[in-house]
Amino acid sequence: MKIGILSFSADCATLLRQLLAGRDCASYAGVEGFAAAREDGVGLLVADLDGLEQQVAQTAAGLRALLAQPAQDGDAVPAVLLLAAPAQKALLQTLRAAGADDYLVKPIRRGELALRLELLLQAADPQAAHVVRSGGFVFDLDRLRVSSQEHPALDAALTRKEAELALLLLEHLGRPLSRAFIQERIWGAEPEVPTRTIDTHVSRVRTKLKLKPEHGYKLATVYGYGYQLERLGSSPA
């Protein structure tokens, strides 16, 4: 599967190529890059919005045309990851409405970007094997199971949302995450998710991954705000 990288920034393009090492990548720039990527039959486009703020209509039109084009296998349409600075909120909202799958806000954390790319690659190329390691856990995203490198007895089945939530918490160790942030990252454009739905998913992740002090983790409620996952030093034997 060919992956398109659309960016004016050489640093951003280099980072993406490092994270996608070993994959067939092609580089594009400007709004013309959407049409070029479509003609090349990319299966996934990673688009950096820097430099496109003044071309909202053209960028949205290019994205719509790309998403309307079947991928090389004639089945799935390309997924698009948008890297957006907060000042690009208007452009981001327009492109989300045009069908963009996911986005990250700059400054980009390398680990979170790698995770998002892995999830999008899985959706775009379901035949490939997809395993993600984070915080001592091994997530098999094809079989939707999680195991632990530190606790061999841990082997649990997950739903797709539970896997994404667990990985989100692990990528933000030590940081409090608001319910609004969790909702947007995991449920995206879905209608407002009830608080109890988020709480239920957090509870299941805590149980299935054994995120408790005796296993070296603490997944705590931040009153009136959200949740925070902490690693408590060395995990007990």
CA–CA distance, 231 with 80 (Å, rounded to integer) = 33
- Give the model confidence (pLDDT) of 159-206 as tens digits: 989 998 998 899 888 999 999 888 877 886 566 778 889 999 999 999
Domain with CATH 1.10.10.10 in the chain: 131-231
Average pLDDT value for the chain: 83
Q: For 2-124, CATH number?
A: 3.40.50.2300
pLDDT digits (tens, 9 = 90+) for 69-79: 665 555 555 76
CATH topology of domain 131-231: Arc Repressor Mutant, subunit A (1.10.10)
pTM: 0.58
pLDDT in tens, 78-120: 767 788 877 777 788 888 777 787 788 777 777 778 878 877 7
**Strand pairing report for 2-6 and 24-28:** parallel
Residues of the chain with CATH 3.40.50.2300: 2-124
